[in-house]
Amino acid sequence: MFDEKPSLLTPANIEIATVNKQKEVIDMIIRHMESDRREIANSLHEQINQVLAAAKLMLENMPCVTAEMACYTKQISTIISKTLLELNKICNDINPDALRHVSLVSLVGDMLTRLAREKSIVVHFDGSGYRTDLKRNPEHELTMLRIIQECIYKVLISSNATKLNIVLETLDYSMFLEMVCNDEMMDLTNLNEDIAIRNLYNRSVHFGGSFNIERPTNREIVFCASIPNCRQQQVAVN
């Protein structure tokens, strides 16, 4: 008689296989989302950017018969230059590859400087405690960037906040974010049920982190996120 080998299809292994499959699906969805963002950023940069650059070049080489025309042409050229600069920054916001060339702190700082001009809000950003010398999983750092971007967008678009304080730092083995806005009227329930916010929550948990929004006082809303620098390996149970 042959010794029977223990079945590998134990409840524990089935559960782990199911969880791993779910993680693979979520990974695929996230990568497709970021791939779409990459394509949009590249299209903006390669098409609209080139059109504006060509228009600027034509203006600069256009013969001007009067001093007034020369002054007017120079002003238009300056506007196009500023538009090109803003367009490149927006492309950096969208493109997931931006973190390969620009630090997370720099990306956030540039974004806040640009967005704060569009709304009357006092923004204070402290990224001095964020360690740039650590090796991080690119998907984890990108997740933190998306959290920051979406939360800032919600504050600027959907709230009446006049002050926004943001701290981004490294704590132990994780990236930590705390964002506080002084909106007293923002509906916390609706905010937590927002599909973009739910996606942030799910994405954070997927990478072993956490994300939450709370109102510790009636005068402010706090966004908090903690994302580990690297993904933990799933250990199979035999």
Split at pLDDT 50, 70, 90, the class of 108 is very high
| Pairing mode, strands 210-217 and 220-228 | antiparallel
Residues 222-236 have pLDDT tens digits of 999 999 999 765 434
56 or 238, greater pLDDT = 56
Please give the pLDDT value at position 8: 62
For residue 105, which phi and psi values (nearest 5 degrees)? -60, -40
Closest to 226 in 3D by CA, of 134, 128, 112, 143 = 143
Tell me the C-alpha to C-alpha distance, in Å, between residue 180 and each of 127, 170, 183, 210.
Answer: 14, 18, 9, 17
Closest to 148 in 3D by CA, of 176, 120, 190, 189 = 176
Please give the pLDDT value at position 4: 55
3-state secondary structure (DSSP) of residue 226 = strand
pLDDT surpasses 90 at 221: yes
Residues 143-162 have pLDDT tens digits of 999 999 999 989 888 888 89
Closest to 37 in 3D by CA, of 142, 151, 109 = 142
Can you tell me the distance from the alpha carbon of 183 to that of 225, in angstroms, rounded to the nearest whole number? 19
Residues 25-58 have pLDDT tens digits of 888 889 999 999 999 988 888 888 888 888 888 8
Please give the pLDDT value at position 168: 97
Split at pLDDT 50, 70, 90, the class of 88 is confident
